[in-house]
Amino acid sequence: MSTRALPCFAPLTLLLACTGADGPVAAKGGADSAADSGAGGADSDANGDGEGEGGGPDGPVIWGEVQACPSPLPSPTYVEHGADLGFLPRQEDDGSHLAGSSLAVEDLDQDGDLDIVQTILGSPMTVYWQTSGSYLAEPVGPVAERGRLTLEDVDQDGAVDLMAGPIWWRSEPGGLGGQAAVRGFPTTLHPMDMMASDFNGDALIDYFAVVSSPTTDAEDRRDAALYADGADSFSVAPIEGPDGTGNAAQGSLVDWDGDGDLDVYLTNDMGAFYGGNRLYQADDGVFSSVSATGCLPTFAGMAHTFGDYDRDGDEDIFIGGTLDSVLLRREETGGCVDFSAPLAADPLAARDPRSNPMVWATSFLDFDNDGRLDILASEGDLYHAPGSGGITLPAYEAPIDLLQQQEDGRFLNVGAALGLAETGSHRAVLAEDLNGDGVQELLVADVDEPLRVYMSTGCTAAAWLRVEAPPHTTVTVEAGGGVWTAVTRRERGVGAAGPSAVHIGLGDVAEVDRVVLRPLQGEPLELAGPFSPRRTLRWAP
């Protein structure tokens, strides 16, 4: 095991040392008076520790301290620290096209620090424990090719556990519990991606298996819902019909129709052979394939991400694939319109198609906190020399794309200019504020190289609000005459999982007027302001 010091990295209780933030705001008077708490939260409590709690039957609402930025940068820039921090390259070369596929960020040992997990096919899954300013690398064991990481409280003890396919490790104080298989999980399924939730409302954790098995019979390629029966077994409900088969790349849980049931959006690779993207709509937990005009393109799609880039209140979709990527704007009619070309939102448009360019993973984020969603996308495909591992195509040295949304809504690729200069064959991406300066760090997996960790070099004058809430909570923030909408979810894109939280950039907003938290089911919670941004809000109903 090895340990490396982190550049100003600390849990929330120590963030003031990193950011130079002011102390607790007074509980009376001014914009941060008692009204700041809405349903009971506050800037400081009787002990003056900067975290207030309240909310009554709606559960505790906890406000973190306001994080000041005494020396703001005109724009965030990044420095890559992956190797410096002790992240390891792949240990063995097994010739797989899918290597380096998965990342997870979560406080797995329950010490208040965010830990990082990486799987690289041909290497042991490694947990990088973050403790008081350093990382400690612990190899956990091999993970199969299809063992993309996800996060879920499998045993429902209140702590988020780590999953790789149907294998899970219990989150425990001080580390992870032993490896265990989800009991009764059918061995005939070949999930490329798995998502967990209580789909049918019986208080048991169910699963949705996004299946990729193109060499088998069509019957074995059907995606399926798995409903727990409470006796360590599952009833399997395959999705019937031609839309239930394919070569799946990624699935996401989304309440597509706003009825309180989780639906599934799926990106399908090699669309010319296996059909386009798919939407499985749920009705009382029973999934069926449905159409959505313009939202289910047919091409070699690899990755997708959801986010309200146009701030009209519903989530739009960015899809990365081979030769093309598309930005789909959701319409009031329920369909989608492709705005990739008019908004210059396809990073592959500038690539030579003869190089077989491909976006492997992507995520919406607001890296500069200007209030406009940006797009992070990793490019990469084959990586072996000709003739090695049964692959005869040349290696593909690809960039990392950071598409910054401009004031006119168009996107500009600023990745290399802001420090994302490394090329490689990249896979999973994740955006998460690791050092507490209010700017999201960028994690990018590579097939051969150590995990690329792009740390921000400073904070921004632009404001932000981070909201931690149960998965699939819709967060609406009203401030400065504008409205922002985001949805918490643990899955963050292909092969990536993180805390159930959203980071919302607010631009030059000085006060937040209102926050509304709408859980997937149940009554919403309204927090009436005004209160200060630049802080974390936690809601645990």
Q: pLDDT (tens digit, 0 to 9) for every residue of the chain, 541 residues total? A: 444 444 443 333 333 233 333 322 322 223 333 333 333 333 333 223 334 444 434 568 999 999 999 999 888 999 999 988 888 887 765 555 555 578 999 999 999 899 999 987 667 889 999 987 688 999 887 776 566 889 999 888 889 999 988 888 999 999 999 888 888 888 777 778 889 999 999 999 999 988 876 666 666 678 889 999 888 889 999 887 666 667 788 899 999 999 999 999 999 888 777 788 999 999 888 999 899 999 999 988 889 999 999 999 999 999 999 889 999 999 998 899 999 999 999 999 988 887 778 898 999 999 999 999 999 999 987 554 444 454 545 556 789 999 999 999 999 999 999 999 999 888 899 999 998 889 999 999 988 788 999 999 999 999 999 999 999 999 999 999 999 999 999 998 888 999 999 999 999 999 999 999 999 988 999 999 899 999 999 998 8
pLDDT for 505 equals 97
Give residue 140's identity as a one-letter amino acid code: V
Residue showing tokens 């979810």: 489
Contact 282, 265 (CB under 8 A): no
Predicted local confidence at residue 75, as pLDDT: 86
Task: With beta carbons less than 8 A apart as the criterion, state whether 10 and 17 touch.
Answer: yes
Residue 314 C-alpha from the chain's centroid: 18
**pLDDT (0 to 100) of residue 22:** 33
Report the phi/psi class of residue 334: left, alpha or beta, with left for phi > 0 and alpha for psi in -120 to 50.
left
C-alpha count within 13 angstroms, C-beta hemisphere, residue 269: 21
Going edge to edge, which strands form the sheet with 248-254? 248-254, 263-268, 278-283, 286-290
At 522, phi and psi to the nearest 5?
A: 105, 180
Q: Would you call 455 helix, strand, or coil by DSSP?
A: strand
pLDDT of residue 242: 64
Given this model, what pLDDT does residue 523 score? Answer: 92
